[in-house]
Structure 1
């Protein structure tokens, strides 16, 4: 697998071109290459500030956003590594609260790429080594690091001693990688997903999880036990629930009444709860209830149920709310269905050919006034006819989002969804670069 990125800075672009030329050898799984690369760089993964390590199918990015916001509200200096980027590669590496600058990024990528040419690393291995290297060189109170894909073989899993680990909600996604046939692993798909994610567990580091079905919970518990990681499970060791205009978090240490997250959607209460539980089950970085409340109010996470500002794209749909979401799997579709319950929407969607074309359409079926299909920029995408079996509405094709917005039927708000690649293009065109 590899990703794609461009930059207006020619020095950065030269390194991104080198990244884009990397390939992952077919059938190669494991941490050997990232381990070898880290060794050549002096093992920066062993010199990181305390790490909050977060995996999951849906919600891990939002959980990281809540963690960073709450820690920063307490006054801590925080590095953060999230993925994928939406518009600029710089978004993957946040140094002491600020996205890495172009000059520093160009030098960093050149240093890592020069060190590993003969190792045949992947895009993600180079990216991970780069963030380890720069995080290890710059003082901070903590790092918030999001797992990229799975957990067991994700390049971030060479972190030897995280402060605390978390697993967000689980669902079926990235089947070709996470459900590939293998002996000695769970056969049931969701249990296998849980196994892969739980393998970020490390000795002595609390592993904080959401509540999962019994078969999945048993697998996660077994992995945590084998790793020697204390396991803290929602509904047993901690819990969270919406209570009117706020949320209530509880664990064995007590109960907290806090404001609802600023991020829209009922599912964000779940993600905020996981972040709170991770903070509460580590003792190195105390965070007050006041800082937790401020972090919940201030957290931002672009392209996740984001209402777009006024800009060149939204000007094509005057008087309407235009929402953007990068969700692309059934769990994300279910969250969208809950959020837009009772509303009538025009859906503009572009989805990678590797994803389930019903994932977004089916949960929104009775809420849609029209369906428009656009390409997913730079990637092979589903054709309009792939979506037709899942809706009774005509499925119209457009060359791009601007064309689809300009041709909207009268009245009704708009949801643009189906791919984070599409979401990044929308943010770029509407001049809302993530910062």
Structure 2
């Protein structure tokens, strides 16, 4: 895997631990002369939907003459996925050389792996002379490294919910304040509907900072979208408004480019259809309760009460610090079954621990050493489940399956 090709330069994220803050980035960027600072950026924040919003924006801009640098996280297979210009990922050799060239800088300022990659991205964008940046927040907002970028006139929010409480705070209000802190004076801020507590904080922050807040409604069914899931209509609406907010900055994106880009966008691991040994499966990166709720609603729309109960086969990998009980309460129907597997190279929930907290799940949860073992066990039953098994709970798991070629996207 391409990720392994940088193992000597990028320590594993979990070895450094979470170390949020802006001072290191400010010092490092100042030493390099603030690369790319003359280009405006759309910063995309929130809990869920950030990557999808970025992908909609980028897909539209790819169909224009506007040269756009995009940073996203996490990646699925290759570190290079995190840095792209237009449709082109940075070449591995170029990323490697940037990391080597900046190694002393990293050491002087004790940059985290995420910060090192972002510094490489800014330098790359400066070198190829992009016109515009799109920056996906990594975690939180107030202290996220993307917020060190000085010119962020457009701020787009995905849905905000409970996640990463160990870093951002114990309540929805605390988490929202951390994320709303990216709003800078005079910015144009865009969001689809949020929980009332979230909306109130966004509105107050915008008022305090003289920023313009625009609420958007989900796009109508007349819009063709390349990403599955009803929630993507909200994400696409935020992306559309962010693109329109570029007009005062001198970037006019034709409506044809937007509609074509939105229809053809691809973002792996988001209700993605794939194949394992010829059998259909679906992949989704839902890894927190808000995303689990959206996924459950997508799979189980309003049903006729007289209809046969829906039965879904799940393969779930959930990191140990995640709210697994809450997720399963949202995902599991009485007729469902779920194989609980580890997230590769991460501490993870085990089936026994889940059953210990919810004994009623003892007949529904199965343990497997890996997703591949779970798929083999399902296949040995003879009849492949319909609807197809859904693999979820962690983008790290999906990236591992795709990277090793165990599943192939349709």
TM-score (norm 1): 0.84
Q: Which of 370, 376, 393 in structure 2 is aligned with 1:400?
A: 370
- Aligned ranges for residues 241-252 of structure 1 at < 5 Å? 241-243=219-221, 246=222
SS at match of 2:10: helix
Q: Distance in 1 between matches of 2:342 and 2:108?
A: 36
SS at match of 1:366: coil
Q: Distance in 2 between matches of 1:32 and 1:331?
A: 32
User: Could you list the runs of 5+ residues in structure 1 that have no partner in the other structure?
Assistant: 181-188, 247-258
- The aligned counterpart of 1:202 is 184
- The aligned counterpart of 1:183 is none
Q: Distance in 2 between matches of 1:21 and 1:216?
A: 30
- The aligned counterpart of 2:27 is 36
- The aligned counterpart of 2:234 is 270
SS at match of 1:130: helix
Cα deviation digits, residues 129-171 of structure 1 (max 9, x gap): 2211211221223221100001100001012122411111010
SS at match of 2:69: strand
Across the aligned residues of Structure 1 and Structure 2, the Cα RMSD in angstroms comes to 2.3
The CA deviation at 1:433 is 8.6
- The aligned counterpart of 1:250 is none
- The aligned counterpart of 2:252 is 286
Q: Distance in 2 between matches of 1:7 and 1:364?
A: 31
Q: Distance in 1 between matches of 2:15 and 2:374?
A: 35
Q: Distance in 1 between matches of 2:169 and 2:394?
A: 21
The CA deviation at 1:367 is 7.0
- The aligned counterpart of 2:107 is 117
Matched, 1:140 2:130: yes
SS at match of 2:314: strand
Q: Which of 299, 316, 319 in structure 1 is aligned with 2:265?
A: 299
Q: Which of 16, 30, 33 in structure 1 is aligned with 2:10?
A: 16
CA 1:29–1:302: 2 relative to 1, 3 Å: closer
Q: Distance in 1 between matches of 2:190 and 2:259?
A: 20
Q: Distance in 2 between matches of 1:346 and 1:82?
A: 30
The CA deviation at 1:363 is 2.1
The CA deviation at 1:362 is 1.9
- Aligned ranges for residues 318-337 of structure 1 at < 5 Å? 318=278, 320-337=279-296
The CA deviation at 1:6 is 5.8
- The aligned counterpart of 1:255 is none
- The aligned counterpart of 2:148 is 158
The CA deviation at 1:415 is 0.4
Q: Which of 344, 349, 371 in structure 1 is aligned with 2:316?
A: 349
SS at match of 1:242: coil
CA 1:21–1:361: 2 relative to 1, 3 Å: closer
The CA deviation at 1:39 is 1.5
CA 1:422–1:115: 2 relative to 1, 3 Å: same
SS at match of 2:220: strand
Q: Which of 375, 378, 399 in structure 2 is aligned with 1:424?
A: 399
Q: Which of 248, 251, 260 in structure 1 is aligned with 2:224?
A: 260
Q: Distance in 1 between matches of 2:176 and 2:341?
A: 33
Matched, 1:106 2:106: no
Q: Distance in 2 between matches of 1:290 and 1:368?
A: 45
- The number of equivalent residue pairs is 391
Q: Distance in 2 between matches of 1:347 and 1:393?
A: 14
The CA deviation at 1:361 is 2.0
Matched, 1:57 2:47: yes
SS at match of 1:379: coil
- The aligned counterpart of 1:230 is 212
Name whichever of 148-157 and 195-204 sits farther off. Answer: 195-204
Q: Distance in 2 between matches of 1:422 and 1:211?
A: 30
The CA deviation at 1:392 is 5.6
The CA deviation at 1:13 is 3.7
Name whichever of 418-427 and 394-403 sits farther off. Answer: 394-403
The CA deviation at 1:242 is 3.3
Cα deviation digits, residues 371-408 of structure 1 (max 9, x gap): 11111101100111233217363321112111111111
The CA deviation at 1:200 is 1.2
Q: Distance in 2 between matches of 1:153 and 1:326?
A: 24
Matched, 1:391 2:337: no
